[in-house]
Each structure stands twice: as C-alpha cells, then as structure tokens.
Chains A and B, each alone.
Chain A
C-alpha cells in the first residue's frame, strides 16, 4: 500500500509562490493500475516524483509499505560520460543488487551489442531510450512509476517493452502518466485527473475521461 495523505506542493518562483496542487490524497494497493490524467504543466511529473520520494512535498505525508521504483521515463537518470555498462553497475550498487546476472539481459534487451561498453554520450536518442528501459527492468519493485513511457523505437521494440513491463510484471502496482488515452485505457483499471491543482478520483475509466475531456474543453485557469 502506498498512501499520500493531504499532500501539497508549492514552488518558489520569481513571481512568488506557485501552487502546483494541494489536498491531494491517493492510495494504491498491491497490483492496482492507476492512470494520472492532466494537461501539460498540470503537475503530473511532480506528483510522480513525490510518490517516488525523489522530491519532497511542501506539506503532507507519504507512506510507502511497498517498494516503489524511480520514475521510469525515457532519458535521464544516467551519466553521459560513462558507458552503458557503468551506468548499469551504478544503478545496481545504489539498489544493492548484483549486476553480474543482468549484463546479458541489458545487452540483449537494449539491442546495444558492443555499444554497451561505449560512453552514453555517443548513443543516438533511440539507443538511450532502449538503454533506459532496459536499466529500468534490472531492479524489481512492487510498484512501478511510469512517466510518459510510450513511444520508444519502432513498433517491435514497443511490443518488447509491453511484454516486459505489463505481462511479466503484470502483478505489480503501477502508476502511469500519459497523454495517450489508449495507453491509459489499455493498462489501467482506474484513473485520477489532475485539474487546476486538485486530484479527482474515478473508479471507472470512462467517468475519468469524460470529466477530463470536459475540463480540457474549459479554458485553463491562469496560474
């Protein structure tokens, strides 16, 4: 179980204190798949970072009774001067697992071949995305946080990712942020919409989308 209790997040900016959201409550049980809807800049990624613990809320409390992944996104979370293999070793060390039995998996899954031993800065965007996904799969978690992890590489690679994440790890809890309604519909059984700093919960995806579409049709409230 993960519980967000009365979470608020404010950012200090040059034009004063900005409210991203407040009075946010959310509970995710084992195996639940929750979609988070929201327009660009609504605070979806901030919410994911708070749940992961990478960032601290301004107020409120987060209880994590199961292990939670870092926010899985394409790009980021690695060091460009190092090789793909060094990045793998670094992540394994941070999470206290051995990299030895994961090298073959990462090399095969990312399709990087001998490039795994070259610095990440020499990789193309596609290669980085494939490496990022492969690295995300080397540590096992009870709950995966997935931030806009949709279009990676070609259709064949997307299918590989789908099998790895949603079939092999189908029993885990997931919190998924995406702009793509079909992606949320395919993988979530409930959704919450982040609109104007409030998180609205829906047990039913159709209800969530009709609320969200109506909110999107209305003009945005200026921050």
Chain B
C-alpha cells in the first residue's frame, strides 16, 4: 500500500513536471516574445468582452431585465469565452504535438491540460480585471455574493474542461468533430444564457434551454453578481451530473485513442 502511494506521488510529480514544460512551451509558441507577449493571454478575451459590451450597449440589446447592459455582457460573454474556447483548444491539439510524444512521459492528457490551464486562466484573468475596472468606473455594482460567482465560474470551467477532453479525444478518431464544433459553438452561443435571463423566457422555452448545462452556470454567476435584482434559474446538481458524465466519457475516449497514437 505504501509503495503504491509512493508510486502515485512519483507519477503525479512527473505529470506536473511535464505539464509545466508543456505550459511554458505553449506560452512561447502561442504568444512569442514580441510586443506584449503572454499578456495576450487575457488581453485578447478582454478585447472580445469589451467589444461585445460596446456593441450591445449601442444596440440597446433587449435582455429582459433592468440590469445595466455592461453587467449583462460582462457576466454572459466572459462565461461564453470560458466554456467555448476550451474545446476549441483541444480539438486538433494532438497533431502539432506528435513530435513531443516521442518522450514517454508526455501523454495526450498533459497536452490537453497545458492548453486548458492556459485557456481557463486567460478567461478568468480577463473576467476578474474587467469586473474590477467596471466596478471602479461605476458601470456595475460589486458582486452581492462573491463565493457564488466563484462557484458558478468553477462550474463553467469544469463544463468547458470536460467538454474539451471529450471533444479533443473524439476528434482524434472522428475528424468530423472539428467540422461540427464550429457551427455548434456558434449556434450554442445565443442559447447559452449569455444574452438573456432564463426568467425572461416563456416557460416552455425555459424548460428547453435549461437542458443546456452551461445555462445553469451562467445563471448562478448572475445570481452571485446581482441575485436580489433577478430571479435566477439553476440546478447545480444537474450541471455537476452533466459535467461528470462528459468527463468520464472523455477519459474513456482518451484512454482508447492513447493506445493508437504514433509519435511522428
């Protein structure tokens, strides 16, 4: 028993070492050393969110509440960037990294982990900085319950992570995943709760839209931000169940493809 504990400590040390190496490599290949370098990690999602906030403000987007549009765009669009960009980073992640797979300790999961840690960090830093700036400028009020915001954000990150592992691993076997992911991600965006409050929908539409796991996460983040002003609809147990199922399916598929990968 003691031996197996030591073995698993040792292998998790190796795992972390490898993920760290891949993370540093990923930062350099993605952002380079020119201009602001790795700051792009969160500046890019910030620009996205700021642009969408500006557009929605100008268009006086109807979203079914009296909330300021800035608050709406910040919570909604940041959440989209979080869950949507994670699968985009794992789909097709294996092929450009095949040369690294020559090293026994580099596993597909390590490549996924490095990319996902980066992606989640970028979206999170962007969300935090923009929240602070918007609050400081008086566009929005500080969150009513920061812990709920964090919990909702974590649930969304977990959903993004699980979907990313499953879709990234599936794409290695069925390349059609990559083709279908782009239109699905695009079509899911308006349904994801980013641009509406569930409460503003007709009851039938509410029931339909609540089948989508990420809607619960977005609603919970908003509950934390301005819960007293809205009537949020969420079921975190349902979302946790979806996340777990996606993750288990993802790990199973990852195990399947790992046996067939041929380093370049």
Contacts and interface: CB of A to CB of B under 8 A. Distances in A.
Interface of A: 12, 49, 52-56, 68, 70-71, 76-79, 81-82, 86, 89-91, 93-96
B28 A86 contact: yes
Interface residues of B, number: 25
- In this complex, the member of A56, A79, A89 whose beta carbon has the largest number of chain B beta carbons within 10 angstroms is A79
A90 B110 CA distance: 14
Contacts, number: 62
A76 B20 contact: no
B104 A52 contact: yes
Contact of B102 (A70, A86, A89, A93): A70
User: Chain B at the A interface: mostly helix, strand, loop or mixed?
Assistant: helix
Interface stretch (B116-124, B177-185, B216-224, B255-263): B255-263
Nearest to A82: B28
A93 B28 CA distance: 14
17 contacts: A52-B102, A54-B101, A54-B102, A55-B261, A55-B262, A55-B263, A77-B102, A79-B99, A79-B100, A81-B29, A82-B29, A86-B25, A93-B20, A94-B21, A94-B103, A94-B105, A94-B106
Given A56-B259, A94-B17, 4 more contacts: A55-B263, A76-B264, A90-B25, A95-B105
B24 interface: yes
A94 B111 CA distance: 12
A76 B260 contact: no
Nearest to B261: A55
Nearest to A49: B263
B103 A70 contact: yes
Interface string B224-264: 00000000000000000000000000000000001111111
A79 B102 contact: no
Given A49-B263, A78-B99, A79-B29, A54 B104 contact: yes
Contacts of A93: 17-18, 20-21, 24
Interface of B: 14, 17-18, 20-22, 24-25, 28-29, 99-106, 258-264
B94 to A, nearest CB: 13
B62 to A, nearest CB: 45
Contact of B262 (A49, A95, A96): A49
A56 B20 CA distance: 24
Nearest to A56: B259
A89 B14 contact: no
Contacts of B101: 54
Query: Which are the 10 A-B pairs with shortest beta-carbon distances?
Result: A93-B21, A53-B104, A77-B102, A94-B21, A54-B263, A56-B259, A70-B102, A81-B29, A90-B25, A54-B102
